[in-house]
A and B are shown apart, each in its own frame.
Chain A
Amino acid sequence: MARVNSEFIDEIRQSDSFDASACMHCGQCTAICPMGLDLLPRRLFFYVGAGLEDKVIENRETIFSCLLCKLCEENCPRGVNIADDVRFLRNYINRKVHKLARN
């Protein structure tokens, strides 16, 4: 069971640097990732869109394992800026979990 947390959605919406709204969950990113990460952009963006903050934080190791190689971004049929979105989430986790100041 995972419950939608609309406050998390609002917090993400307020930022200008996260935008995965065009993601249609096709899985191209998943198929192409050279790291074979446990959690791939498609799933990650679903967690964010559905306001599942706990799931995002649970998966922070994976989020930080991303190489930011942009192979997924190059091949995204919807032109989602995946690397920027991952960077934003790292920043978010740094603030929320590791209590680091923003930038």
Chain B
Amino acid sequence: MKERRIGVFICHCGGNISDYVEVEKVRKEIENEPGVVLARTQMFSCSDAAQEEMISDIQNENLDGIVVASCSPKLHLHTFRAMSVRAGLNPYQYVQSNIREQCSWAHRDSKPFASDKAVRLVRAGIAKARLSAALTTMRVETTPKVLVVGAGVAGLSAALALSDIGLPVFVVEKAEEVGGWTRKWGDMFPHGNGSNLIGELHEKVKQREDITLFTQAELVEKNGSMGSFTVKVQVEDGSTVSLEVGAIIVATGFDTYQPEDGEFGHGHECVVTLPEVKELLAKDDGSLTVDGRRVENIAYIYCVGSRQPEDSAAESPNLYCSRYCCSAAVHTAIQVQDRNPGVHQFHLYRDMRTYGKNEILYEEASRKGSMFIRFEAEDPPEFVIDEGLPLVKVNGQLDEGEELEIPVDLVVLVTGMVPRQNSKLADVLKLPIGMDGFFNEIHPKLRPVETVIDGVFISGTCQGPKTLAESVASSLSAVSKSAGLVKKGYVDLEPYIAAIDSDRCLWCGECQAACPYGAIEKDTVNGKEVARIISSLCKGGGACVPVCPESAIEVKGYSDAEVGAIIDALVEEAVLAK
């Protein structure tokens, strides 16, 4: 094999690296490694001047591989790939050695150790670069249509926004009517009426010719990949419709927490949940009545089904705050008080989280006569019947453990949001589910609506508790991500994917079972059954590699030869010492 021509660039990163790693010593240690024709140190490899230097080195020295030893590839992978392309080097023949996050920053206590480790890491990078192949990305054409799953406020808003951009939309809704929870709830904080909002959105959707709405329908199958999916939707009459779309937005919403029997008196006729009260208030604009009786004394118990202690009786406690309930309950109390100024309302809360502008609602409720009483999580209120009189007992505000007893004719359990049981959909789309049971995004701050399944976006409360405004904001965010994807016309996919050696493969199916992305199928090559990688679906995760009994699968860029060479380079001294 012709020896490679590798260039190595070691970065000081100001002092971030060079304060702990002797970069010049590292350079000297590795400059005679096989294949290395050039080794430099640089103050900031990411600077324009340093990049220009690398470009001229690549061109003048005819380099066919480079190692940049600097920070994490999470920071500058794309910087140096783009630089390689400008220099005429295949970007997959550039290797990053992370000597900052994984070396200088981690070993500030020992400079000699940091330098020694940096030498090994760079040597490993060189070993990989020597075996690196010129790879090319795969271009897939995108279908300029989008599927929206769920026709609540998030789904309907997304559909209209996509149609505004000029993209045809299919909306699939499981229920008979659109609108989800919002349709059932009248006035919602900070203002506006949920049912009217849904009415307006639905009316607009009906007028758009490029929006196709399926109700009583379900997504039952998804094939293809980012930019080019084929989905099957089971519609009202049981038949199946096949659709071509470039992106999928999931907006399937939440369920409300259903209290256990007896939880704060749940099951007793005068104990209801906040969503039930919202529905009562939406149906009738008079004073709040329950079973024909006008309600005069209400106790609200907050955080029911949210912020459950880790050691609570619940099987898998909901540790999260449901975010909307404090504001919704306070807003509801104002509504109740406005309709019946004489009503007495007691709010038993743990922490009042009427954040942002909703603080104004808290103040309004307080000034209108609502009484706020704080309790400790470990000493929650109790619902009891005392000589036929329903009472709520709460501790926390009086002296020496003295309990306050509130005679009530209605107890409102301020229940939070729980993930909707949607395992079928999660299965069809292979959506990742987080610890809390909601669908998971890739990054909570920087990639809040993207999932690990490229081209599938999540929005609204299927991702976690949100207010209505936040749901719409996230659905519009998913719209811009989907439109960005499908409007471009194509996507380039990473070439780091699995490859099958058809000569070795005996098709046992182990790899197919191991693949979480459904990227392996059975194929026939020259009359022999073998595995085939669906390259547009493969993420290069590598789950298939170790399960293959014939060692017939490798992930490009991470072949056994490359990984073996990296390990040998990392432990060279240890091996020599033996």
Contact = CB atoms under 8 A, between A and B. Distances in A.
Contacts of A21: 366-369
A76 interface: no
Nearest to B398: A2
Contact of A13 (B369, B402, B405): B369
A57 interface: no
Contacts of A25: 372, 374, 397
Contacts of B366: 21-22, 24
Interface string A1-39: 111101001100100000001101100000000000000
Contacts, number: 48
Given A21-B366, A21-B369, A50-B371, A9 B344 contact: yes
Contacts of B406: 3-4, 50
Contacts of B374: 25
A13 B370 CA distance: 12
Contact of B344 (A3, A6, A24): A6
Chain A interface size, under 10 / 10 to 19 / 20 to 34 / 35 or more = 10 to 19
A88 interface: no
Interface in B347-401: 363, 366-369, 371-374, 397-398
B405 A10 contact: no
A54 to B, nearest CB: 12
A46 B397 contact: yes
A49 B397 CA distance: 12
A25 B342 CA distance: 23
Contacts of A2: 398, 402-405
Contacts of A9: 344
A46 B406 CA distance: 14
Interface residues of B, number: 22
A25 B371 CA distance: 11
B371 A6 contact: no
A1 B405 contact: yes
A9 B337 CA distance: 14
B430 to A, nearest CB: 48
Contacts of B398: 2
B182 interface: no
A31 B369 CA distance: 26
**Residue of A3, A13, A24 contacting most chain B CB atoms (<10 Å):** A3
A4 B404 CA distance: 7
A46 B398 CA distance: 9
A50 B296 contact: no
A44 to B, nearest CB: 12
B394 to A, nearest CB: 10
A6 B345 CA distance: 10
Contacts of A49: 371
A5 to B, nearest CB: 9
A22 B367 contact: yes
B432 interface: no
A68 B98 CA distance: 69
Most buried by A among B296, B363, B404: B404
A50 B369 CA distance: 10
A97 to B, nearest CB: 22
A19 to B, nearest CB: 8
A10 B343 CA distance: 9
Contacts of B402: 1-2
Interface in B397-427: 397-398, 402-407
A28 B322 CA distance: 31
B16 interface: no
B289 interface: no
A77 to B, nearest CB: 12
B297 interface: yes
A24 B369 CA distance: 13
Given A4-B404, A22-B367, A50 B342 contact: no
Given A10-B342, A49-B371, A50-B373, 17 more contacts: A1-B402, A3-B404, A3-B405, A3-B406, A4-B404, A4-B405, A4-B406, A6-B297, A21-B367, A21-B368, A21-B369, A22-B367, A24-B366, A24-B372, A25-B372, A25-B397, A50-B406
7 contacts: A1-B402, A2-B404, A4-B406, A13-B369, A21-B367, A21-B369, A49-B371
Question: What 4 pairs across the A-B complex have the smallest Cβ distances?
Answer: A3-B405, A4-B406, A21-B367, A49-B371
Interface of B: 296-297, 342, 344, 346, 363, 366-369, 371-374, 397-398, 402-407
